[in-house]
Structure 1
Amino acid sequence: MERLTFKCNDKKIESGKETILCGIINVTPDSFSDGGKYYGVELAVNRAKELIAEGATMLDIGGESTRPGSTYVEIEEEINRVVPVIREIKKITDIPISIDTWKSEVAKAAIDAGADIVNDITGFLGDKNMVKVVSNSKAGAILMFNPVIARPEHEGSKIFPKFGAQGVFDKKEYEEFNSLPIEELMFKYFEKGLNLAKENNISKDRIMLDPGIGFGLTKRENFILINKIDMIKERGYFTFLGVSRKRFITNILSENGFEIDESQTGQRNKDDASAKLTAIASFKGVEVLRVHTIKPHLMAAKIADCVRLANQMEDINFKA
């Protein structure tokens, strides 16, 4: 498969190399896993230092929780949460920084503060001005398939907040597309955002695609999209994947008798299980993985990368 290049500002990332771990910094009081832990500039910047020291080579900063049952954060409040953090982190590192937002005003403020990538969980479809913000910059973009707004009447969508525009498909499309296998629905959704990108002169090498794991998907659908994630690269795009600590993982752990509470054991179980999926994704060649903790994912990715890149490994003999 051909090597791909992703560009954001003055940075370039090439495919076919070691997996990139993108550390999550939630500057929120209510995110599903670590809400409140890094809420504030000092806490968030210290967390960034920890993630980088452990091996993160990209950071994703968000100021609004998108978990089921979360509430809308006003634009000014979201900007006040993330912009000071981005400015301070830019003083200590040059690794790519992603702003996790679907609101164009927040994205613009973050880019002006130094963000390199806009991680839009609506894939340019939630806020009609988002594509213009990215187009008018040199930032890259992560476009996520969002089943919640692709099929708002689906049972799994109803527990999520609204992400800007609803009903991205017209009535005819909705009836036709929602009977498709989930991976085909994903690409019908991507098609709309990618067409907007093309119309606004955002080149293909500035875009990553994210299958939207956990957003209103059934248990089966989550695993189908992970199993078939190679399809994104086959279309010529970098792949961005976030599975860390998500509900479908904790569901499997719970069904099989593993602790999943907020105790040290419960958190370790969730991170270890998430890392198993990191190993699978790394082996499949996913370029970027969004994770809460680095160490278990780094070990998993390193081993999987060695298998995937076996022909590039040093050919040595081991001592007795």
Structure 2
Amino acid sequence: MNSQSSRGLFQAVLLGMYFGFATYIASAQPVSENLTAQVDQIVAAHQGKVALYAEALATHQVLAVHADVPVQTASVIKLAMLYEALEEIRAGKARWDEPIVLKKEDQVGGSGILQFLDAPLTLTLRDVLTLMIDLSDNTATNLMIDRFDVASVNTRMESIGLPNTHLYKKIFKPSTEPMPADQPKFGLGKTTAHEMASLITRFSRCELSSGAPTASDLSLCSTAVEMLQHQFYRDAIPRYLESLDSSEHGTAIANKTGSLNAVRNDVALIGTKKGLLVLSVFTYDNVDQSWQSDNSAELMMGRLAKTIIQSWAPDGLSPDTLKQVPATR
């Protein structure tokens, strides 16, 4: 690259940082100017901050907005725990059917159902992971932290090239270890839109460890994607994409949400007739901190998802695409 080209690239990056909206990473196919303009308009109108990473896995079209800025995960960090569980099962250190005992002192508030059940109660590892993902159950999450521990999750994230994806502690429980200096800023966990998109893509491609996935690996990944398909919270990315009852007709969206008063996040695999799409959206410092179904951040994420799908996959969604594990690399 000559010096003039280098200066031009540098100036373009600076302009992108200055104006604060979309930065579009080089893709196999260019992103249309119409789509970038629509996304910029939606992001600019939102009363809060937005980080986004979207990719069409078949064509490698990429759309990014502040995609490498560290953000609060809220419950989206539970994807990292699910990934660690798959690696442990794969290594023979855990089993889907192993018993996990819920005790009274394990029960914590917030999202989930386990806090309301009589304890002690014995569940399977698969039961607990399902509750952690589908209902974002905080008690289930803490049980999984007891089972696999924080350090293992963070070491795993670093080993797969996600240095900004970090789980800090149990939910609503004091930490038993010294906390990093940035923990008060991020709370339960931190990540970037790009890194979390990379993590959920690993489930679709069945990238657990080095080497091609085995038949056993594919079964693990299929189970994880099915858990994500059963996600209860569907007011963000899925909001405008599915018109039929997904509990009866099946869903083309496998997602994990995370919410705090000023935070609304959603990360999803979306099966379309054009292939698999990944969409990772994090919003924070939101003015609307309501917990109603029409929260403005969730409405905005729904509009972003609809806009991107209409551009990249106008033929519509396809639940069958999610069954094709591993997806196209």
TM norm structure 1: 0.31
* Higher relative contact order (Cα pairs below 8 Å, separated by 6+ residues): 2
TM-score, normalised via structure 2 length = 0.31
